[in-house]
A and B are shown apart, each in its own frame.
Chain A
Amino acid sequence: MKKTTMFSLLVLVIRRDLVLAMRRRADVLTTLVFFVMIVSLFPLGVGPEMAMLRKMAAGVLWVAALLSSMLSLGRLFLADYVDGTLEQMMLAPQSLSMLVLGKMTAHWMVSGLPLVLMAPVLGLQFDMSAQGLGVLIMGLLLGTPILSMLGAIGAALTLGLRGGGVLLSLLVLPLCIPVLIFGAGAVEAASSGLGIASHLSLLGALFVLALVFTPWVTAKALQISME
């Protein structure tokens, strides 16, 4: 009985946030356009040699994904904080961690998943191989949720602060370095003929760790910010 209520709560929060996001589609598109722009700026900056671009592709895509996910994090709790919904959520008898997990999931579906779907097209611009693209997608699928989850901690800590956006990136980006390393490393390992299992397993381990701890830490951070 209890389990189903927790699960239905999760579904409820995700659906609510998705509906809200769909009502404000511009926000979702801005993140995506930002991602495409950053990736497209790199060849203009470093030159059009295909050999070099092919080598850089995974790193560029990952860094761009990292930056674009930072961009939308500021909005994760802000609207709910401003109109008082967040306060009601914290008063609710249900677990705050579960609510937070729902918000994280919705955030990833709105700002992480479109990047994952867009990445192969951009990878083709950099002349990535089909195998490299496949590994990139797998890495992004495992890695972008971690970015949303780690970012939620930063978003909760900087809730309602002036200059919160820049501060948020300053706090969260160092914590995301392992994700970047293993995600981009998997593609590099695949292109040099090494096994990708170790990189993806480590990403998976980070994902599980983040899944267990970050909702709870974010809930604590929200309590600190709201008291």
Chain B
Amino acid sequence: MAINWFKYSAPTTFYGLAGKLIPWLAVSAVILFSIGLYIGFYVAPVDAQQGEFYRIIFIHVPASILSMFLYLVLAGYAALGLIFKTRLSAMMASAIAPTGALFAFISLWTGALWGKPMWGAWWMWDARLTSELILLFLYLGFIALHASIDDPRRADRAAALLAIVGSVNVPIIYFSVKWWNTLHQGSTIKFTGTSMHVAMQQAMFTMLAACWLYAAAVVLTRVRSIILERERNTAWVAELPEVKQ
């Protein structure tokens, strides 16, 4: 049996598939969020060194991981769109950007909230914090460039090129910031190799999965809107039941 791998690379078919997936993703995200928060707040023990404050990592760490991962996914879609000129890839890239920026922002915000009681300062020019901030700038640049070009095709391609240049730069920026920081002063706090409590791990991974599902649900919802907006003049959109009403 020949499988058509490219069936869902067309906006026409993907629109329906995304519509079917979103409820499942959203519901499982809510369930996992509840489980993760329950374990995080009630089951996981108090940390010996950081007290209750450490519990913020249950949202901070997943948000940081996703903000970085989503940028890679964004750049991947951007590259696909630029190379194969597939319409859907560019739409996916522009749908991912706001969610990635949101996670980068949450990561910085929760990091600051954690830093105040732990380090005694809202902000440290630590390598990880600084590169996360620059990652947020890269997201904002992508969104701003896309928003300021009126022609959607040119916007897609220009933003895609920027995303690729940015992704090449991310490791360079990360290492330069790291070396810059170590030249000035050592990192104030390091996560030592102490093993985490099992309940803490469970809470963290559950929250990570929940954030992941949330991101997928939101991105698919957004890409559906983008598809409708871009293809509003086509016949298949006019025949959709939700459009006909």
Contacts and interface: CB of A to CB of B under 8 A. Distances in A.
Interface of A: 153, 157-158, 161-164, 167, 170-171, 173-175, 177-178, 181-182, 185, 188-189, 202, 206, 213, 217, 220-221, 224-225, 227
Nearest to B184: A188
Contacts, number: 70
Contact of B172 (A167, A173, A178, A185): A178
Given A174-B141, A182-B176, A206-B172, A221 B161 contact: yes
B144 A170 contact: yes
A173 B134 CA distance: 10
Q: How large is the interface on B (under 10, 10 to 19, 20 to 34, 35 or more residues)?
A: 20 to 34
Interface of B: 134, 137-138, 140-141, 144-145, 148-149, 154, 157-158, 161-162, 165-166, 168-169, 172-173, 176-177, 179-180, 183
B173 A177 contact: yes
Contacts of A188: 183
19 contacts: A153-B162, A157-B158, A157-B161, A164-B148, A167-B145, A167-B148, A170-B144, A171-B141, A173-B137, A174-B173, A175-B166, A177-B134, A178-B176, A181-B177, A185-B179, A206-B172, A217-B165, A221-B161, A224-B161
Contacts of A157: 145, 158, 161-162
B169 A224 contact: no
A217 B158 CA distance: 11
A167 B165 CA distance: 16
A154 B140 CA distance: 14
Contact of A175 (B140, B149, B165, B183): B165
B161 A217 contact: yes
Nearest to B140: A170
Contact of A174 (B138, B145, B158, B168): B138
B200 to A, nearest CB: 34
Contact of A185 (B137, B149, B162, B183): B183
Contacts of B157: 224
A167 B140 CA distance: 10
A202 B177 CA distance: 13
Contacts of A162: 148
A117 B138 CA distance: 32
A182 B157 CA distance: 32
Contacts of A206: 172
Contact of B183 (A161, A163, A174, A189): A189
Given A217-B161, A225-B154, A178 B148 contact: no
A202 B149 CA distance: 35
